[in-house]
Amino acid sequence: SYREEDGARVMEQAEIAVRVDLARGAAQATVWTCDFSYDYVKINADYRS
């Protein structure tokens, strides 16, 4: 079961590993993403690249 304390501890980490098992055989991939927090969007919302 979920506990807020456990979730908060994980979210404080610089990197978080997420594993997904689709039970479809042996394969793997790596996906890198970033934090699009409210402040990031607010700072960068005034222009387009």
- Per the CB < 8 A criterion, the answer to whether 10 and 16 are in contact is yes
SS3 content of the chain, % helix, strand, coil (to 5): 30, 0, 70
Closest by CA position to 33, among listed 16, 8, 19? 16
Q: What is the pLDDT of residues 1-49, one digit of tens each?
A: 889 999 999 989 988 888 889 999 999 999 888 878 888 888 888 776 6
Output the pTM of the full model: 0.44
Q: What is the pLDDT of residue 49?
A: 60
Contacts for 16 with CB less than 8 Å, ≥ 6 apart: 10
